[in-house]
Amino acid sequence: MRCINPLTTASVLAVFFSTLACANEEPIEIIVVTATSSAQNWLQSPASVDINRVDQSGLLFDSAQLLQGIAGLQADSRANFAQDTRLSVRGFGSRSPFGIRGIYLEQDGIPISAPDGQGQLGSVLLDNIQSIEVLRGPLAVLYGNGAGAVISLTSRRYNQSEMAASAALSEQHQQQQLNLAMVGNNQSLQLAAKQFKSDGYRPRSRAAKDQLQLSWQWQLLNNLNVNLRYDWAYDPYLQDPLSLSPEQWRENPNQTIAAASLFDTEKTVKQQQVSVSITSDSTHPFKLALWQGERDINQRLAFTGSAATSAGGEVLLNRQYHGIKGQYQLSLHEHVSAVAGAGVMQTEDRRFGFINDFGQRGALRRDEDNRATNLDSFIRFNYQPTSQLNWHAGWRYTDLHYQINDFYIADANPDDSGVRNYYQQAFAIGFNWQFSKQLAWFGSAGKGFETPTLAELAYSIDGGGINLQLDASDNQQWETGIKWQNNQHRASISVFTIATDNEIIAATSNGGRTSFRNSSKTTRLGVELQWHYQLSPQLTSEFSSHYLQAEFNGSALNGNRLPGVAASEIDWQWHYQPLVTLPLQLTLQSHYRSKVYIDDINSAAAPAALRFAFNINSQQQFQHWQLRQWLSVSNLTDKRYVGAVVVNQANGRAFEPGAGRELAAGVSFNYQW
């Protein structure tokens, strides 16, 4: 493949943006990011990082709704509540058959990702998220195992006491939510509860979710804060309509195959977690976080799993997890500061597998105890010799230990116990040169890693036991770009390359059982553009796009595109408020995604699709009361499209249909005092 010289590209872009910047010298809106561990002006950050402020109106049931419109991030909605949202950033995470991997997830500084690098957002109370920060590029590797990117969620905070109730309804879904906030001089208490139900888009796709979040903030001293949070989620039923073959999708994307009813494919999930964080913003800031939780899953798959060597067709999993991490910031010199930290995380999975006797639990086929323990430490330096130039560099060391104890041993099913250790290091360095109050050039380079997850170690390619031969993959990343910001514009464009050795890819996937192997190399070359433009007090444009060429390199698959990855995406949103004095806002969104290959050999692809959505909302204030109404239409033209693909699906059912046109409406009442 042809390579683009990032430095040359950046120089050309710098000249272009300098011309624009000089034409409009106005005060700059300051946007603060935390991607380098301390609050920093977005324009001075040496990384590709974006912040989305979450609109609290709408029917939120899928994390893809919150993550659309961020350059480089592909958020695929499966329209299937039994399967988590599929996320990939610059190709990282694209191979995941379920959950999210290759992307580090956290909420309020507490990890959502497990020690093995896999996570999920299905249990997060999305309506209670205030903002989302997404860090892409080489500096993300400093966050640890599998950090091809970082998605950091911040929970909603209240400035005054408030009580709110809301309800929303669509053709398929309904939800109700209650919020209560009690705000005092040095402490506050928030409670949020939500109930969601859906009839689903296809037969046998019903779902129900109940969620609760309780949080308490206490300003213990002038510069010492304590945050205690309790999260509870219960999904009593999440039916799985299963994916379709390309032929079935073209015939009727709304159908559900017979196996879903035959095997009663469904999932039940329970999760609870307690977390506490202590932060200080004194001369030497520090953070300390502790968490403990439990997650239970019961899932029936679309096969019996009756073979003697099978892991069963019904999964019963209990996960106990806990961790502690801390960091401390200090000044080493007038121009040099550092942040050092360490953490320990552990998960213990008690896993059983049973024969799925056509919807009834049959004989035992799997009995294991799987443990993952991650110990890591890091240090990050920031050097700012002048007000225009700053450097950021860091190192991270990870010790990841897997232990699998197999208790189901029979003549035809040998002992699959095993131990595997991964000792990995990550490095990164970046700079930011701010030419003027409006324009900056940044660049970075890094070396990161991804270890296999417990799920990826579970099955060997030949159908036997665990796959302890899987090695960690290594990646080298380079990035450079330009940022431009004034009162009307906030824009960035970046060019990046990624070279990966020992890429972990899906070898086979059939009926919920996926095995993995190491590929020799992959290469990725991409361009990302993000542009926020305030045309007038009434009209705002938000545009994002990316192009990604992701290919296998140096193997039998040489030149093939990476499956599960769209080469290009474009998202364009227009927000219009007819009059400043009129509390009404209209939003029109268009989203384009190019075709997505379904397997390593590129045998077929989900076709490209262009979709539109429209939203109108209004609010009125009556003394202490606030009333808000909204109306939305998703997939405005009722476009037939594939929401997500199941990579390397051996049975050929790789397409997960996207949802059709849907009308939704909602109302909320708020009382503040």
pLDDT at 2: 42
| Domains of the chain by start residue, with CATH | 6-672 (2.40.170.20)
Instruction: Measure the CA–CA gap between 498 and 526, rounded to whole angstroms.
Output: 9
The three-class DSSP label of residue 426 is strand
Using CA atoms, how far residue 526 sits from 57, 377, 496, in Å, is: 34, 31, 5
Backbone angles phi, psi at 294, to 5 degrees: -145, 140
Token couple for 540: 């705002």
Q: Are 428 and 138 in contact (CB under 8 A)?
A: yes
Per-block mean pLDDT, blocks of 10 residues, the chain (673 long): 43 42 47 64 88 79 88 90 90 82 92 91 91 93 84 92 95 95 94 96 96 94 92 97 96 96 97 96 90 97 88 94 95 91 96 95 94 95 94 96 92 86 95 94 95 84 76 94 94 96 78 73 95 93 96 87 95 88 87 95 96 94 92 96 90 93 95 94
pLDDT of residue 33: 63
pLDDT of res. 673: 92
Pairwise CA distance, residues 532 & 493, whole Å: 12
Length of the chain: 673
Measuring CA to CA, which residue among 148, 104, 63 is closest to residue 550?
148
Q: How far apart are CA 342 and CA 602, in angstroms?
A: 42
| Phi, then psi, of 85 in degrees rounded to 5 | -55, 140
Q: What global pTM score does this model have?
A: 0.92
What's the pLDDT at 463? 61
Q: What is the rounded distance in angstroms from the CA atom of residue 126 to the CA atom of residue 652?
A: 33
Distance, CA of 502 to CA of 166 (rounded, Å): 49
Query: Tell me, what amino acid is at 243?
Result: S
pLDDT at site 221: 82
Closest C-alpha among 493, 537, 580, 660 to residue 71: 493
